[in-house]
């Protein structure tokens, strides 16, 4: 069948219009779209944790990535639900509201934007509206969040979490070599990689100065040792807790002028909490590591982390809201 010249002209015009129009990924385009409205919120508040597994403590911080529309769209309803309940971004300080330099949270307008986006069908919108992608590795290719560390220390050796293990607290110790640390330094930040995130609940790293390597029971912290028990890393006077990694936590850098003193010859203690379903064939080998970022100038203020904890409580059966607390008087 022949097509008349007028019909052909109309058809050609329609084809031209369809090619020139922006490509949208479904949904109502009158409201918020991913590229214009949602992606800036993701970059500012979510991608710090929700990124590919090699760039977020091997996946420990967040189990899924929100770096682009294809990754984010399947989680749209869950995102709206969590932000409306103010469960995400995670922030655990309770009321009354204080003032924190690193506080996480969304504004009411940002929450409304995400909720409206989901109600409209979570449309992608026009890619031309997207802000520039954020480079979360500072241009490096090895996955470190804050750039390439000045030096990296690993657990003494890979550790096999056996088939029959269900819940295990264990600490590993390794001495800083002359190559790692030829002189005393001020550390301005650390970054922890947990090893295999499938079996890691959390990890903490401690420093034991050369003259502070004796536990409360008189035993010494030995290079290369592996010691089971929850308090194996923290029962040494003079030890310094560097950092911990767990669900919802992330590495951080100290402000200018602040630092953690580390002496050459110190021991590094890796406290690992492993958990998994026991059974034949479930054994996993894992090796955690920590990257150190050294200050180029002496710090004006020494930073020390102290713990406030309560390990001696029991929750009564069927209690609806059992409150557990602890306190400590800070002295200077």
Report the range of poorest mean pLDDT among 73-82, 85-94, 191-200, 208-217. Answer: 208-217
Read off the pLDDT band of 9 (50, 70, 90): very low
Mean pLDDT of 147-170: 93
- Residue 100's pLDDT is 79
Q: Which of 18-22, 102-106, 153-157 holds the top average pLDDT?
A: 153-157
- Residue 148's pLDDT is 86
The class level of CATH for 151-302 reads: mainly beta
User: Of 15 and 206, which is predicted with more confidence?
Assistant: 206
Read off the pLDDT band of 29 (50, 70, 90): low
- Residue 258's pLDDT is 95
Alpha-carbon torsion 148, 149, 153, 158, what sign? Answer: negative
Strand order in the sheet with 289-294: 151-154, 289-294, 185-193, 258-262, 301-302
- Residue 280's pLDDT is 96
Please state, for a pLDDT cut of 90, what percent of the chain lies above it. Answer: 50
206 close to 269: Cβ distance less than 8 angstroms: yes
28 has a pLDDT exceeding 60: no
Which residue has 């010859």 as its token pair?
Answer: 265
Which tokens hold the place of 36? 């214009």
- The structural domains of the chain, with segments of one domain joined by +, span 10-129, 151-302
234 close to 308: Cβ distance less than 8 angstroms: no
Beta strands at 301-302 and 258-262: parallel, antiparallel or unpaired? parallel
- Residue 11's pLDDT is 33
- Tell me the pLDDT of the chain averaged across its residues: 82
- Residue 73's pLDDT is 97
What number of CA atoms fall less than 13 Å from residue 78's CA on the CB side?
7
8 has a pLDDT exceeding 80: no
Q: Phi, psi at residue 161, to the nearest 5°? A: -85, 110
Q: CA separation (Å) from 58 to 44, 118, 192, 276?
A: 21, 29, 9, 17
User: Of 102 and 269, which is predicted with more confidence?
Assistant: 269
How far is residue 127's CA from residue 30's CA, in Å, rounded to a whole number?
A: 16
Mean pLDDT of 116-131: 96
3 has a pLDDT exceeding 60: no
- Residue 250's pLDDT is 63
Each residue's pLDDT tens digit, 164-203: 999 999 999 999 989 889 999 999 999 888 888 888 888 9
Q: What SS3 state is found at 170?
A: strand
Mean pLDDT of 284-300: 93
The closest of 84, 79, 85, 87 to 104, measured between CA atoms, is 87
How far is residue 209's CA from residue 161's CA, in Å, rounded to a whole number?
A: 29
- Residue 5's pLDDT is 36
Read off the pLDDT band of 51 (50, 70, 90): confident
2 has a pLDDT exceeding 70: no
Report the range of poorest mean pLDDT among 49-63, 125-139, 194-208. Answer: 49-63
pTM of the model: 0.71
Report the range of poorest mean pLDDT among 29-38, 142-151, 228-237, 290-299. Answer: 228-237
């Amino acid at each position: 069948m022949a097509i008349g010249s007028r019909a052909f002209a109309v058809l050609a015009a329609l084809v031209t219009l369809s090619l020139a129009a922006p490509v949208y990924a479904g949904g109502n385009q009158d409201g918020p779209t991913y590229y214009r409205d949602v992606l800036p919120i993701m970059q500012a508040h979510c991608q710090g944790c929700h990124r590919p597994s090699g760039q977020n403590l091997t996946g420990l911080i967040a189990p899924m990535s929100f770096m682009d529309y294809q990754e984010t769209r399947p989680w749209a309803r869950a995102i709206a639900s969590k932000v409306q309940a103010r469960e995400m971004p995670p922030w655990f300080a309770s009321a009354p509201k204080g003032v924190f330099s690193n506080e996480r949270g969304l504004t009411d307008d940002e929450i409304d934007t995400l909720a409206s986006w989901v109600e409209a069908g979570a449309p992608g919108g026009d890619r031309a509206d997207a802000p520039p992608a954020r480079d979360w590795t500072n241009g490096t290719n090895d996955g470190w969040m804050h750039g390439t560390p000045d030096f990296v220390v690993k657990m003494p050796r890979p550790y096999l979490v056996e088939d029959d293990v269900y819940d295990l607290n264990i600490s590993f110790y390794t001495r800083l070599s002359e190559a790692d640390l030829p002189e005393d330094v001020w550390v301005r930040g650390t970054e922890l990689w947990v090893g295999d995130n499938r079996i890691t609940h959390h990890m903490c790293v401690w420093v034991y100065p050369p003259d502070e390597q004796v536990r409360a029971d008189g035993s010494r912290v030995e290079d290369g040792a592996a010691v089971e028990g929850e308090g194996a890393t923290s029962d040494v006077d003079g030890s310094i807790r560097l950092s911990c990694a767990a669900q919802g936590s992330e590495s951080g850098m100290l402000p200018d002028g602040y630092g953690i003193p580390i002496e050459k010859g110190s021991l590094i203690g890796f406290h690992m909490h492993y958990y998994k379903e026991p059974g034949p064939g479930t054994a996993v080998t894992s090796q955690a590591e920590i990257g150190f970022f050294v200050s180029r100038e002496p710090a004006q203020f020494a930073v020390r982390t102290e713990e406030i904890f309560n390990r001696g409580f029991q929750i009564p059966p069927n209690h609806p809201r059992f409150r557990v607390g602890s306190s400590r008087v800070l002295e200077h």
